[in-house]
Amino acid sequence: MPITKRSTLTQYLIEERRRYPGADGEFNSLVLDVALACKAISNAVAQGELAGLHGDYVEATTDTSSTNIQGETQKKLDVLSNDYFIRTNEWSGTLAGMASEEMEHPYQIPSQYPRGKYLLVFDPLDGSSNIDVNVSVGSIFSILRCTGTQNADVKEADFLQPGSKQVAAGYALYGPTTMLILTVGRGVVGFTLDPVLGEFMLTHEDIQIPADTQEFAINASNSRFWEPPIKRYIAECLAGKTGPREKEFNMRWIASMVAEAHRILIRGGVFMYPRDTKDPSKPGRLRLLYEANPIGFIIEQAGGRVSTGHEALLEVTPTSLHQRIGVVFGSANEVRRIESYHKAPRTEVFHSPLFGERGLFRE
């Protein structure tokens, strides 16, 4: 196969670095290490049951399924993917520390390796509940600058930075092809893994999300727990051409945030995993640091909008490493509409037969 004229991820990063004459290459090295982890995970996901990688991860000492700090059952690929991220990134001297959805505490760089100025935050395998049914899954990552003392062990507080402080963010999607979506704060680009060359090749430049859409994604099984503004928005969408929106909408739900975000990046749409009343102790379902912030940064860099429904998500200062939050993102005009419904006076009561006692979604 001949070498194409497409840029590789390495070439793209070098071109970006030339914009900053004082850059030392440490950032480029970090992104390439992350990409290497994603290649390894892509290979593992592709092998699946052929390599015995489907099913739950079982603790050798207890002979029972292991759970992570979130209380979720870990899959074999969850644990393997987390290990790939750690082993490919701990040694190079670019990082001061790491934090993962799968680990309770920050990961300290081993003493035999030098420490750098960045922090890496990641969800090693988003959507892993879909692995056994062969639905697209992915990895999400965020890069922050470490504000702590140089060469000291990182603390949880070092990671508690609002999403607006991110240096870069991205995700890898393991689907029919493996893609790497990346922003370094100058728009969003997409790379496709060439399995022959083993390189991520630039295939999507300057990705832009359409401002308007006729597609939404939400877990409708939670409808009885939604806040009134979300019920109002969904009811209006379902009403179609005869309703106040005067157009037809389609609903999608993959239960893999990476796959949902990718669809919206490519063709528009709005994704909602809002705050609800299902568990009052949790102000949302998605993790702020590992999922919402990096995906939110990508969405806004592509011209979309991200919100909690109540406030700008990227301005929220985290209070804990594994904090959860309500999330709405996608086509800007739809997100603004949802925000406006949350800001409407509380005296404005919305009634809909879809959510009534005898409605489509029974209370």
Q: Do domains 9-204 and 215-355 have the same CATH topology?
A: no
The mean per-residue pLDDT over the stretch 283-311 comes to: 96
Q: Is residue 123 annotated as involved in ligand binding?
A: yes
Give a three-class secondary structure readout of the chain.
Answer: CCCCCCCEHHHHHHHHHCCCCCCCCHHHHHHHHHHHHHHHHHHHHHHHHHHCCCCECECCCCCCECECCCCCECEHHHHHHHHHHHHHHCCCCCEEEEEECCCCCCEECCCCCCCCCEEEEEEEEECHHHHHHCCCEEEEEEEEECCCCCCCCCCHHHHCCCHHHCCEEEEEEECCCEEEEEECCCCCEEEEEECCCCEEEEEECCCCCCCCCCEEECCHHHHHHECHHHHHHHHHHHCHHHCCCCCCCEEECCCCHHHHHHHHHHHCCEEEECCECCCCCCCCCEEHHHHHHHHHHHHHHCCCEEECCCCEHHHCCCCCCCCEECEEEECHHHHHHHHHHHHCCCCCCCCCHHHCCCCCCCC
Q: What confidence score (pLDDT) does residue 349 get?
A: 47
The model's confidence at residue 181, banded by pLDDT at 50, 70 and 90, is very high
Which tokens in the block code for residue 283? 């102000």
Please, which pLDDT band fits residue 132 given cuts at 50, 70 and 90? confident
* Tens digits of residue pLDDT in 253-262: 998 999 999 9
CA distances from 244 to 234, 237, 240, 318, 352 (A): 12, 8, 8, 37, 12
- Is 48 annotated as belonging to a binding site? no
* Residue 339, annotated as binding a ligand: no
23-32, 182-191, 232-241: least confident range: 23-32
Q: Are the C-beta atoms of 262 and 179 separated by less than 8 Å?
A: yes
The lowest-confidence range among 41-45, 56-60, 61-65 is: 61-65
56 is in an annotated binding site: no
User: What is the reported pTM?
Assistant: 0.91
- pLDDT value at residue 304: 98
pLDDT at 5: 76
Q: What confidence category does residue 352 fall into, taking pLDDT thresholds of 50, 70 and 90?
A: low
User: Under CATH, which number does the domain 9-204 receive?
Assistant: 3.30.540.10
Do 120 and 158 meet the contact criterion of CB atoms below 8 Å apart?
no
Q: What share of the chain is helix, strand, coil (3-state, %, to 5)?
A: 35, 25, 45
Q: pLDDT value at position 363?
A: 44
What confidence score (pLDDT) does residue 62 get?
Answer: 58
Among the residue ranges 8-17, 51-60, 179-188, the one predicted with the least confidence is 51-60
Identify the pLDDT of residue 90. Answer: 98
Provide the pLDDT confidence category of residue 3 given band limits of 50, 70 and 90. Answer: low
Whether residue 122 is predicted with pLDDT greater than 60 in this model: the reply is yes
Task: Indicate the pLDDT class of residue 193, thresholds 50, 70 and 90.
Answer: very high
What per-residue confidence (pLDDT) applies to 57? 74
Residue 289 annotated as binding site: no
Determine whether the annotation assigns residue 221 to a binding site: no
Per-residue pLDDT at 340: 97
Mean pLDDT of the chain: 91
Cα 51 from Cα 129, distance rounded (Å): 18
Q: What local confidence, expressed as pLDDT, does residue 1 receive? A: 44
Query: What is the Cα–Cα distance from 161 to 159, expressed in whole angstroms?
Result: 6
Q: For 74-108, what is each residue's pLDDT tens digit?
A: 889 999 999 999 999 999 999 999 999 999 999 99
Cα separation, 22 vs 150, whole angstroms: 20
| Assigned architecture for domain 215-355 | 3-Layer(aba) Sandwich (3.40)
Decide if pLDDT at 249 tops 60.
yes
The reported pLDDT for the residue numbered 4 is 60
Ligand-binding site membership of 219 (annotated): yes
Closest CA to 93 of 118, 76, 72: 118
Residue reference for tokens 């930075």 = 161
356 is in an annotated binding site: no
Q: Domain extents for the chain? A: 9-204, 215-355
**Percentage of the chain surpassing pLDDT 70?**
90
The mean per-residue pLDDT over the stretch 153-170 comes to: 97
164 labelled binding-site residue: no
